[in-house]
Amino acid sequence: MNKILLSFICVCLLSYLCFSQSERPALQLNGGLIIPKEENLQSGLESSFGLALPLGKNISLAVEFAYAKSSTKEEGNKLHNGTLTLTPFLIAVQYEFCQEKSFSPYFSLGAGYIFSSFKIGSYISIPEIRINQKVKSGIGCQFGGGVRFKLTKALSLLCEADYFIRRASAETIISDMNFGVSFKYFSIDLNALLLKLGLKYFL
């Protein structure tokens, strides 16, 4: 975790030293829906905040932290009933077509590290057996685009749609009082569509 934070600080400092002084950095705050591709994952809420640092005219580097939750339905060889939480840390390059206009489309492409956790819900089992499940964290990427509507000189409204790409390893841990601990491994498709509304504030 410390290495990730150090990398984040280094990227921000280097980007800030490189950006054109005629452009301004901006803070972004988004909220919306996450719609997973995996059938036993339900749609949930997603929120994010970040910093956009200009690299030149129309191009900026966006550093973003996000938080998303999705409920799960039990399915054979998949996740049981429970709650899946994703916390992505993403760095993306964003290109805006008409930066000086009041209506400006943009697209972005990025990647980063996705922290994953799963809290299992209720399940039916005999008293001697306990079940737990884990979803591994790892690298993912994201691409998409949207439109920026200028509200004031400093504040803009964002409408955005992104596609999140990540396939994760997962495991079921079975603790049996008579036979010990056993593991079952499987993979989970975390690909998802993100529909977001947000605000962008230029510093």
The string of DSSP letters for the chain reads -HHHHHHHHHHHHHHHHHS-TTS--EEEEEEEEEEESSTTBPPEEEEEEEEEEEEETTEEEEEEEEEEEEEE---TTS--SEEEEEEEEEEEEEEES-TTSSEEEEEEEEEEEEEEEEEE------TTEEEEEEE--EEEEEEEEEEEEESSSSEEEEEEEEEEE-EEEEEEEEEETTTEEEEEEEEEE--EEEEEEEEEEE-
At 97-118, the pLDDT tens digits run 987 788 899 999 999 999 999 9
Residue pair 137/92 in contact by the 8 Å Cβ criterion: no
Tally Cβ neighbours within 10 Å of residue 141: 16
The whole-angstrom separation of Cα 68 and Cα 91 is 17
The whole-angstrom separation of Cα 55 and Cα 61 is 7
Q: Given the structure tokens 């975390």, which residue do they identify? A: 190
At 149-167, the pLDDT tens digits run 999 989 999 999 999 999 9
Residues with Cβ within 8 Å of residue 14, at least 6 apart in sequence: none
Query: Which domains, ranges and CATH numbers included, belong to the chain?
Result: 2-202 (2.40.160.20)
pTM: 0.81
Quote the pLDDT of residue 19. 45
Percentage with pLDDT > 70 across the chain? 89
At 36-80, the pLDDT tens digits run 999 889 999 999 999 999 988 889 999 999 999 999 988 777 888
Confidence of residue 20 (pLDDT cuts 50, 70, 90): very low
Residue 83 C-alpha from the chain's centroid: 16
